[in-house]
Amino acid sequence: MNVHTSATAPALPILTIDDLHIDFALHTGTVQAVRGISFELYKGETLALVGESGSGKSITAQSILQLLPEPVRYTQGSIQYQQQELIGASTTAIRKVRGDRIAMIFQEPMTSLNPLQSIEHQVAEVLIEHKGMTRRQAAARVLELFQLVEIPDPKRRLKAYPHELSGGQRQRVMIAMALACEPDILIADEPTTALDVTIQAQVMALLKGLQHKFGMAILFITHDLGVVHQFADRVCVMRKGQLVEQGITEAVFSQPQHPYTCELLDSEPSGNKPPVSQDAPVILDAKQVQVEFPIRAGFLGRVVNQFRAVDGISLTLRQGQTVGIVGESGSGKSTLGKALLKLLDGHGDIHFDGIQIDGLEPLAMRPLRRKMQVVFQDPFGSLSPRMTIGEIIAEGLKVHEPLMRPDQRDEAVCAALEEVAISPASRNRYPHEFSGGQRQRIAIARAMVLKPKFLLLDEPTSALDRSVQVRVIELLRELQDKHKLTYLFISHDLAVVRALSDHVMVMRTGEVVEQGPTEEIFNCPQQAYTRELIAAACPLGSSAERACNPA
Amino acid sequence: MSNATFAAQGDSLMKDALRRLFLNRATLVSTLLLSVMAISCFFGPLFFSIELDDVSWEFMGTPPGEGGHWFGTDTNGRDLLLRSLYGGQISLTVALIATLVSLVIGVSYGAISGYMGGRVDNLMMRFVDILYSMPFMFLVILMMVVFGRSILLIYIAIGAVEWLDMARIVRGQTLTLKRKEFVEAAHALGVSDRQIILRHIIPNALGPVIVYVTLTVPKVILLESFLSFLGLGVQEPMTSWGVLISEGTANMEGAPWQLFFPAAMLAITLFCLNFIGDGLRDALDPKSR
């Protein structure tokens, strides 16, 4: 497998991983997280390590800097940085490499910075530690670095604290910190996953430019094949701790050799939804919806200003229709969804199923609740960890059909679970025993057991791996056909929105930028912002262009 | 699918928790030990032919074993075993009642305050702050003056102070929990606020609550002995572990057993409670299975 593929790279690899095995000895048994992977990294190239969650890609990355927590066992193999063995190296030797020769950036720019120190201080610390600079020297260098990573108005930002920066800016600070010592290798562990697509494109472009300037090697860990396609020179595809395929990006994407690679490439959501007829009954009709959050100040919490999260949006949903709402974080798309369901207070004329629901008392609202259900983004947060999934699904029935006998209720729960393809026998288990995709199915079952007419899907697939996503999308389609459901689908993921909805609404800062039938929006966007969004989403191209015939 | 087929495979959180609780050996042993302690404190004195304040004139301050006094006697010649058992009655009751009071008031108050938020929360927590700022001793003395001296007052006074901490802890937990999506999902299902608090907020806040309860029990027992020491708590000839320990400390050099036995009983009780608390916390968390 160690075929030297990159033509431009010099003869000696800067990092060699050979037959690496990593075990975790837990009290429940040994988990083999990485099982014999080998690859080389050359100066100046970008190698992407691709795989779904649990494939061992992050563990491999962390093992390079020996960052893995205790019960870890390196049972076999070696990790060599310029012929220096890193496995079992002394702490002092590792620390010389860490942050100096090999730097790392992480997924969460929110949590990887210390909230109590200014960003200048945090970046300077690296320089003082590794380069032995004085505070003053370091300060000058930090300013240079901030200019390098294109932080707007860097002089003024020096003393800023992490919470004063946006997500993209924080990730830039992380990159500045990683680059402080001009490392030979930059390990980027899902650096853009938490960012919006347009910001993601900017950060990736920045990384690419910096790589060009310094000639460092980038080991890029991600599950996002679109980004890999655009930025990586070579790809290693990982699955269950093993390397199933590696090669030059173009080759892997156009002629994947391993069936799993094909599966990954084809897991891009596909298909589209035909529009419903114009005379289908209207389920939800909202006019001029406005949501304002008061900005409070002072000891008594006096309202000093209003932040308008949703600013006068109107929309109509007909039976069987799926309206997709697209927008970046902070665009007000989730707020709009919640306001339509009266989960938070808003102004505006909202009619649901012919009944005016704005201004309705909570008690009067309750019978309508069963007709309008919601599925949330986070499959880990949306199920109460202390209830069995049977109890979770039955809860709505207890509210809306208090007279139902326990055995009837149990039957309904079983039926709902079967509908989402989860064995009813597992209804006495707790949420943590299920995978992300399964939990999302349970959340869907909780909504479906009440036989609603309308489902608000608030980023239901965003936390899932692509292959799992595709199955959830299929399930949603199936349910919609079977029960004539109406969906309001909120997402930042354009591919999913395109596959599921027949009408798209692009939102930005609480307002509609553009709306129309899905294909029209995607094929000829009228607004610059829509075009930017679509361009930044890095589409993979259809499988038709790909010769998917594994050897 | 019949109901009976699946009934055997799982139970409610409570049943499940109990089963898991008793799979934990340390917890099981602690529970047994604590039960033995409680039973002997409450029923042990029935098997004595002497009374709490009976003085044996020939055995004053004698070490354990002499004259049939297994734990020895105090400086007044009263049987230390009997006194320790009676003391246990008071201490265990104080612990139980004051902790229960703080648990019930604190958890519900904190959960409601945190869940309602806004102005209600502000008002409720300012009230807690006001109570915090009242000197505890002043409160107790005031109650004594108004209601007269009774042991029941001690229980109420201690409970009334201890729930403040609990309310703050639970409120903090609730603030984070109510932002969770499962609470929002319950709201979308049409579950009432009361049911959301009972079914979603409180069960998920239990972890820190139980840890705090195990810390409250020793605090309460010591607080009672402090009050008794000041003459505001139990009165002679009645006694409590706290009182016995403070007497024992005074005679530590001449009669170490007077400190050792009540202290050992208190230590065993607290030890057991800690293990039970740990076990409960794990048992109530389905993830630790």
Chain B residues within 8 Å of chain A (Cβ atoms): 1-3, 6, 9-13, 119, 122, 180-182, 184-192, 195, 199-200, 203-204, 206, 284-287, 289
Indicate the number of domains in chain B.
1
CA angle, A123 then A124 then A130, to 5°: 100
Within-domain flag for A357:
yes
Assign A329 to helix, strand or coil. Answer: coil
Contact A427 B204 (CB under 8 A): no
Host domain of residue A413:
381-451
Q: Which residues of A touch B285 (CB under 8 A)?
A: 385-386
Average pLDDT, stretch A212-228? 86
Tens of pLDDT, residue by residue over A395-432, are 989 888 888 888 999 999 999 999 888 888 888 888 88
B2 within a domain of the structure (yes/no): no
Nearest chain B residue to A411, by CA? B1
To test the contact with chain A by mutation, choose from B16, B182, B285 the residue with the greatest count of A C-beta atoms within 10 A, namely B182
In this model, does residue A544 exceed pLDDT 70?
Answer: no
Stretch A265-275: mean pLDDT: 78
> Does the structure show a pLDDT above 80 at A303?
no
Instruction: For residue B19, tell me if it sits in a domain.
Output: yes
Across B226-249, average pLDDT: 79
- Kindly state whether residue B3 falls inside one of the protein's structural domains: no
d(CA A224, CA A405): 47
Q: Would you say residue A80 lies in a domain?
A: no
| pLDDT value at residue A1 | 38
Does a structural domain hold residue B61?
Answer: no
For testing contact with chain B, the best of A372, A386, A440 (most B CBs within 10 A): A386
* Selection from A287, A284, A283 nearest residue A346 by Cα: A287
Is the pLDDT score of A244 beyond 70?
yes
Q: Where are the beta strands (DSSP E) in A211-326?
A: 217-222, 234-239, 242-248, 282-297, 302-318, 322-326
Preceding amide of A452 cis, omega within 30: no
Boundary-marking domain end, from A180, A195, A214: A180
Please judge whether A384 and B188 are an interchain contact, meaning their C-beta atoms are less than 8 angstroms apart. no
Portion 282-301 of A in contact with B at CB < 8 A: 301
For chain B, the 3-state helix, strand and coil shares in percent, each to the nearest 5, are 75, 0, 25
Q: Which tens digit of pLDDT belongs to each residue from B171-220?
A: 999 998 888 888 888 888 888 888 888 888 888 888 888 888 888 887 88
Tell me what pLDDT residue A257 has: 86
| Cβ within 8 Å of residue A195, ≥6 positions away | A109, A167, A168, A171, A203
A403 CB near a chain B CB, below 8 Å?
A: no
pLDDT of the residue at B153: 76
Both A327 and A466 in one domain: the answer is yes
Q: Is the dihedral of CA A151, A462, A249, A6 positive or negative?
A: positive
Residue B109, pLDDT > 90, answer yes
> What distance in Å separates the CA atoms of residue A6 and residue B90, rounded to the nearest whole number?
81
Distance (Å) from the alpha carbon of A408 to chain B's nearest alpha carbon: 9
Are A343 and A475 in the same domain? yes
* CB atoms B192 and A430 under 8 Å: no
Angle at B170 between CA B165 and CA B174, to 5 degrees: 150
On whether residue A472 sits in a domain, the answer given is yes
- Looking at the fold, whether A392 and A480 belong to one and the same domain comes out as no
Give the tens place of pLDDT for each residue, A142-159. 888 888 888 888 888 888
Distance from CA of A499 to the nearest CA of B (A): 25
Give the percent of chain B with pLDDT over 70.
Answer: 90
Mean local confidence (pLDDT), B36-55: 80
CA atoms within 13 Å, Cβ hemisphere of A328: 20
In a domain, A15, yes or no: no
How high is the pLDDT of residue A323? 92
Contacts with B206 from chain A: Cβ below 8 Å: 386
| Minimum-distance CB partner of A383 among B122, B182, B287 | B182
* Nearest residue of chain B to residue A367 (CA atoms): B190
Spatial distance between the Cα atoms of B174 and B192, rounded to a whole number of angstroms: 16
Chain B CB contacts of A427 below 8 Å: 6, 10
- As a whole number, mean pLDDT of residues B9-33 equals 75
Instruction: Identify the domain boundary among A180, A204, A220.
Output: A180
Residue of B nearest to A405 (CA): B3
- Taking residues A100-114, what's their average pLDDT? 79
pLDDT of residue B236: 75
Answer yes or no: do A360 and A465 share one domain.
yes
Query: What rounded mean pLDDT belongs to chain A?
Result: 83
* Nearest by CB: A386 against B10, B181, B204: B204
Instruction: Please tell me which of the candidates B119, B186, B286 has its beta carbon nearest to residue A385.
Output: B286
Domain match, A447 and A459 both: no
Indicate whether B1 belongs to any domain: no
Pick the closest to residue A488 from A370, A344, A377, A373 (CA basis): A373
Q: How confident is the model at residue A4 (pLDDT cuts 50, 70, 90)?
A: very low
Calculate what percentage of chain A has a pLDDT beyond 70.
94
A383 interfaces chain B, CB cutoff of 8 Å: yes
The verdict on A466 and A502 lying in the same domain is yes
Among the partner-chain residues A341, A372, A429, the one whose CB lies closest to the CB of B10 is A429
What ipTM describes this predicted complex? 0.74
- Establish if B64 belongs to a structural domain: no
pLDDT level of residue B221 (50, 70, 90 thresholds) = confident
Any idea what the CATH number is for the domain that residue B247 is in?
1.10.3720.10
Alpha helices in A270-361 (DSSP H): 333-340
Residue B51 domain flag: no
Of A396, A427, A430, which is closest to B286 when you measure between CB atoms? A430
Task: Give the whole-angstrom CA distance, residue A456 versus residue A489.
Answer: 6
Give the pLDDT confidence score for residue A421 in this predicted structure. Answer: 87
Same domain, A515 and A397: no
* A468 & A357 share domain: yes
How big is the A-B interface in CB pairs under 8 Å? Answer: 102
Q: What is the mean pLDDT of chain B?
A: 81
Using an 8 Å CB-CB cutoff, list chain B residues near A387: 13, 199, 203
Question: Structurally, how many domains does chain A consist of?
Answer: 3
Q: Are strands A102-105 and A454-458 parallel, antiparallel or unpaired?
A: unpaired
Instruction: With beta carbons under 8 A apart, name residues in chain A contacting B184.
Output: 343, 374, 376, 382
Contact (CB<8Å) B189/A396 = yes
pLDDT at B2: 37
Q: Is the pLDDT of residue B6 over 50?
A: no
pLDDT tier for residue A539 given thresholds of 50, 70 and 90: low
Which of the two residues, A235 and A308, has the higher pLDDT score? A235
The CATH code of the domain that includes A334 is 3.40.50.300
Query: Nearest CA to B85 among B70, B99, B101?
Result: B70
State if pTM tops 0.90. no
Do A488 and A358 have their domain in common? yes
The pLDDT assigned to B127 comes to 92
Checking phi first, is residue A417 left (phi over 0); if not, alpha (psi -120 to 50) or beta?
alpha
Segment B211-238 shows an average pLDDT of: 79
Q: Decide if B74 contacts B80 (C-beta within 8 A).
A: yes
A97/B contact by beta carbon, under 8 A: no
Instruction: Tell me the per-residue pLDDT of A172-182, one tens digit each, with 9 for 90 and over.
Output: 888 888 888 88
Mean pLDDT of B276-289: 78
Who contacts B132 (Cβ-Cβ below 8 Å, separation ≥6)? Answer: B164
Contact assignment for B184 to A376 by CB distance below 8 Å = yes
To 5 degrees, how large is the angle CA B220–CA B35–CA B211? Answer: 45
Whether the pLDDT of residue B289 is over 60: the answer is: no
- Range of weakest confidence among A109-113, B85-89, B256-260: A109-113
CA-wise closest residue to B91 among B167, B163, B161, B158: B158
> Residues A246, A251, A253, A254: is their CA dihedral positive or negative?
negative
Q: Percent helix, strand, coil in chain A (nearest 5)?
A: 40, 25, 35
C-beta atoms of B181 and A378 within 8 A: yes
Domain boundary residue among A148, A163, A180? A180
Task: Please count the other Cβ atoms lying within 10 Å of the Cβ belonging to residue A490.
Answer: 27
Kindly report the nearest CA distance between residue A108 and chain B, in angstroms: 19
Interchain proximity B190–A341, CB inside 8 Å: no
| A399 and A517 share one domain | no
Domain contains B50: no
What pLDDT is attached to residue A413? 92
Same domain, A358 and A281: yes
Q: What is the 3-state secondary structure (H, E, C) of B47-69?
A: HCCCCCCCCCCCCCCCCCCHHHC
Closest residue to A395, CB basis, from B6, B181, B186: B186
My answer on whether A331 and A437 are in the same domain is no
A276-300 mean pLDDT: 81
The predicted pLDDT at position A540 comes to 58
> Which pLDDT tens digit goes with each residue over B144-176?
778 777 777 777 778 878 888 899 999 999 998
A121 assigned to some structural domain: yes
**Domain limits for position B37:** 13-42+73-288
B281 CA to chain A: closest CA distance, Å?
A: 12
Please indicate whether, in this complex, the C-beta atoms of A446 and B189 are within 8 angstroms of each other: yes
Q: Is residue B151 exposed (0-12), middle (13-18) or buried (19+ Cβ within 10 Å)?
A: middle
Span A34-43, mean pLDDT?
Answer: 88
Nearest residue of chain B to residue A381 (CA atoms): B181
A448 touches chain B (CB under 8 A): no
Q: Alpha-carbon distance B56 to B72, whole Å?
A: 11
